[in-house]
A and B are shown apart, each in its own frame.
Chain A
């Protein structure tokens, strides 16, 4: 796994991080869209709409 900060040096309101994970995209996708999984690694999720 590697984390790369891609935030632009210029003024911006956005922080960009690229994270490379050695797992199947389908599995990683589940951690992004399934509320129960998001709760486990990011934050409690309420009303998530993707």
Chain B
């Protein structure tokens, strides 16, 4: 099972080719909304760079503007996307707002990856067992 959905995992075997290796191409199921937001936010190289920069410590918009060759409104727009994805949060201190990484923000992404790691480990284990049984 995957995340919040109770639907079974759906995977489609697109094509296979075997020579020395077995190659499997599998389309993953549609990701839930929160994962979509995270993937969309991190798909942009500038947003990834801003996110990575914030892992070093909190910063204000003007700090990030100085670090990257983009305008202040653009930085604010990127931060809004990261906030919407739950990856960063703002801390107000008087008139200043400091942005920092939300520690639990990456959890849906980590869970998504772990799901697929477990899926393929399990399925390949089954394949190995099946091949062994076919020998007997």
Residues of chain B contacted by A15 (CB below 8 angstroms): 26, 28, 116
Q: Which residues of A contact B (CB under 8 A)?
A: 1, 3, 11, 13-21, 23, 25, 27-33, 37-38, 40-43, 45, 48, 50
**Which segment of B59-67, B73-81, B97-105, B120-128 sits at the interface?**
B120-128
B92 beta carbon closer than 8 Å to chain A: no
Please state if A18 and B13 are interface contacts (CB–CB under 8 Å): no
Question: Measured between alpha carbons, how far is A32 from B22 in the docked complex, in Å?
Answer: 9
Please state if A18 and B123 are interface contacts (CB–CB under 8 Å): no
Question: Measured between alpha carbons, how far is A28 from B25 in the docked complex, in Å?
Answer: 16
The 3 closest A-B pairs by CB, nearest first: A41-B126, A41-B127, A32-B16
Please state if A19 and B21 are interface contacts (CB–CB under 8 Å): yes
Q: Which residues of B contact A (CB under 8 A)?
A: 9-11, 13, 15-16, 18-28, 43, 116, 120-121, 123-124, 126-131, 134-135
Looking at chain A's contact residues, the main secondary structure is mixed
* Least Cβ–Cβ distance between A4 and chain B, in angstroms: 9
Please state if B25 and A14 are interface contacts (CB–CB under 8 Å): yes
Please state if B19 and A25 are interface contacts (CB–CB under 8 Å): yes
Please state if A42 and B18 are interface contacts (CB–CB under 8 Å): no
Given A18-B23, A19-B24, A45-B13, A3 and B124 contact (CB-CB distance below 8 Å): yes
Question: Measured between alpha carbons, how far is A11 from B39 in the docked complex, in Å?
Answer: 10
Chain B CB count within 10 A is highest, among A27, A29, A32, for A32
